[in-house]
Amino acid sequence: MSLELTMLQEAKTQRDTARTFYGYNHRNRIGNGEFFDTLNTTSKDFPLLSPRSPRGIVKQLTKPHGLYALNGLIYVDGKVIYYNDKPTAYVDEDSDKTFVGMGAEVIIFPDKIAFNTYTRKVRHLEQHNEATTLVTAELCRVDGTRYDVDKTSSTEPENPFHGMLWLDTSDPELWELKIYSEAEHRWGAVSTTYCRLNGMSLGYNLKDYDSVDIQGITGEDVQDLNGSHIVYKAGDDFIVITGTSVKWKGYHQYETVTVDRKLPDMDFICQHENRLWGCSNKTHEIFCSALGDPTNWSRFLGISTDSYVATVGSPGDFTGCISHGGYVLFFKEDRIHKMYGSQPSNFQLTEIVCRGCAKGSHESLCSVNEVLYWKNREDVCAYTSSMPAGIGDNLGDDVYVNASSGAAGRFLYMNMDDASGKRWMFTYDTEKNVWHKQDHINARWMTSFDTSLYCIDDLGRIIDLTGNQGEPEKPVHWMVETGDLGIDSQNNSYVGSMSPDARYLSKIQVRLDLDTGSHIAFAVQYDHQDEWKEVYRMAANGKRSILVPIIPRRHDSIRMRIYGVGPCKVYSFAKTVEDGGFRE
């Protein structure tokens, strides 16, 4: 009798060890060391996996309307402007604010005021004056001084002297001022194009070379006094403008005259090279203020410090603007307009058809280490100087809108809404090219100051997202979720999803370091079922390697979640998968 022995084949096994963790990758096929989902994790300790630091709660506000940083932290609570935590001034409107820094001033919209961070004073950029009593117009010198007439008569004065001024009234309709020249022994006409407009409070709070709009002049012969003018000289009760129709006889009226210094209505605004720049979807125009003067937007004297305006013919609405790399960039959803030049005479606007900024995501425009980032309709874009490049593949197919961004060190923080309206905070490590998803915080008015990134949350609290300042929040709850274990390696020859056999997850080994008071747990999900089953939990025990006990179960796919509370560092994550035979 002979015995036949059956040779047993050794089960195929696959062991993957991740020692470098590449963060969030929400796609169907991910790499070793990547995670399909994350919560409150960071690449700050790259290549290790760790939770983010607790955020700092800096201050509780009552009715927050905005946050900004310029030589200190500035915020608006109700109608009060706080600078370095001290109430210093007031805004006009009880509404949300947009801030732009220019020199030592913070320009605040929609109030159109400027807050000086050194003097702590507020000034209005617009000015509205009304003269409701007597208003007169008379010809004058450019500095506003009147001509001291020596003689007013219809006949030539006797015994004239050099430089004598005579107001000739021989023509009742056209008086003429004349000056005597002793060298030529004759009278010559004095010509001027400057007109002094007098009226109570007519020039209040105006300054020389302001651009203004005048309305209310009723005389038929002096209608050129209405409209846009440059103020060559201003006093509380007068302004000097050009007015060629005014005669030496002068003009007067008792009807109300208004003088307005206005800012154009703009959808987006930024500061670049000591000018404010803005754009309007209503007029399809791009504007800039006079050099160093945010109060003047229609000063056109033909000099280098002039204001500037240009009509843009490309289709679609503007979606944002920012100063970057020595240029002003005006965004639409499918293009960028780039402004070159240093003064109005050489300003040149070019057009780049490319992935622009999505509507509602103008606050996502953010520069980190000389690279500009923004949220496009389908992607997150990075831009240096030529064309934008997409960096958002790891966000998967999920649609995100209404993005806003901030910068802290090498990290881009991007806060945006998903399709259901939930708001998520993502971080992008610009050096390691690693994404992480954090939590549902709604971080409004993100602004960087020193080494911190501040925001205001839905509870009205000023939060330091980096955790450098303020009272630390409660220990952070964090989580990572793997892809299908055994099929997420891009470098192994054995790929589980292509195998006809079922598999067993036979072993998981993790090396980690848990701080005092922290704990960690592991849960598994088989074949994409809804139920997650916790398989292991442990409290702080220093740096060590642990073997997560897995009860072998035949499966087509398996995922694992690692979640915990408090500081933790994961050094490596090793998994062993064995072939389990034929699967139907």
pLDDT tens, position by position, 196-253: 999 999 999 999 999 999 999 999 989 999 999 999 999 999 999 998 888 888 899 9
Percent of the chain residues past pLDDT 90, beyond the cut: 75
Range from 52-56, 340-344, 358-362, 526-530 carrying the lowest mean pLDDT: 526-530
Q: Are 192 and 179 in contact (CB under 8 A)?
A: no
Two structure tokens written together for 45:
């300790």
DSSP-assigned letter for residue 6? P
Is the Cβ–Cβ distance between 240 and 71 less than 8 Å? no
The confidence score (pLDDT) of residue 549 equals: 82
Q: How far apart are CA 447 and CA 415, in angstroms?
A: 13
Q: Tell me which of 28 and 75 has the higher pLDDT.
A: 75
pLDDT digits (tens, 9 = 90+) for 45-71: 999 999 999 999 999 999 999 999 999
Give the residue carrying structure tokens 């805004």: 91
One-letter amino acid for residue 271 of the chain: Q
Query: Could you identify the residue written with the tokens 């096994």?
Result: 13
Instruction: Provide the H-helix boundaries in 81-168.
Output: none
Please state the rounded mean pLDDT for residues 501-506.
63
C-alpha closest to that of 127 among 32, 201, 19, 46: 201
pTM summary value: 0.88
Bridge partners (DSSP) of residue 512 are 544, 570
Q: Is the pLDDT of residue 500 over 60?
A: no
Number of Cβ within 10 Å of residue 305's Cβ equals: 17
For position 86, what pLDDT does the model report?
Answer: 95
pLDDT at res. 555: 63
Say how far apart CA 284 and CA 293 lie, in whole Å: 23
Give the β-pairing of 380-383 and 371-375. antiparallel
Greatest C-alpha distance within the chain: 160
Q: Give the number of other Cβ atoms within 10 Å of residue 413's Cβ.
A: 24
Q: What is the DSSP letter of 107?
A: E
Q: 47 preceded by cis ω (within 30°)? A: yes
Q: SS3 of 394, please?
A: helix
Q: What is the pLDDT of residue 12?
A: 67
- At 103, the amino acid letter reads G
pLDDT tops 70 at residue 195: yes
Q: How does the average pLDDT of the chain come out, rounded?
A: 90
Q: Region 154-166: what's the mean pLDDT?
A: 91
Q: Which residues contact 177 (CB under 8 A, 6 or more apart)?
A: 139, 147, 149, 165, 166, 167, 168, 189, 190, 248
pLDDT of residue 1: 47
pLDDT band at 503 (very low <50, low <70, confident <90, very high): low
Strand positions, DSSP E, 431-496: 434-437, 444-449, 452-456, 461-464, 471-472, 477-481
* CB within 8 Å of 159: residues ≥ 6 apart: none
Q: What is the mean pLDDT of residues 546-572?
A: 84
Q: What is the mean pLDDT of residues 265-278?
A: 97
Which residues fall within 8 angstroms of residue 362, CB to CB, at 6 or more apart?
268, 319, 320, 321, 331
Residues counted in the chain: 584
342-351: burial string, b at 16+ Cβ within 10 Å, e else: eebeeeebee
Q: List beta partners, residue 175.
A: none
Give yes or no for residue 581 having a pLDDT over 60: no
Amino acid found at 466? T
Q: What percent of the chain is predicted at pLDDT more than 70?
A: 93
Least confident residue range of 238-242, 359-363, 508-512, 563-567: 508-512
Contact between 295 and 125 (Cβ < 8 Å): yes
- Which whole-number Å values give the CA distances from 248 to 243, 253, 409, in the listed order? 11, 16, 67
Strand partners for 478: 564
What pLDDT was estimated at residue 160? 92
Q: Give the residue, 462 or 4, on which the prediction is more confident.
A: 462
- Contact between 358 and 401 (Cβ < 8 Å): yes
Q: Which two tokens stand for residue 388?
A: 């934008």
pLDDT at position 129, please?
A: 97
Residues 29-33, mean pLDDT to the nearest whole number:
88
Q: C-alpha distances in angstroms, 528 versus 5, 181, 531, 558, 579? A: 40, 104, 8, 7, 19
pLDDT (average), residues 100-125: 96
pLDDT for position 385: 76
Q: Give the pLDDT band of residue 530 (cuts 50, 70, 90).
A: confident
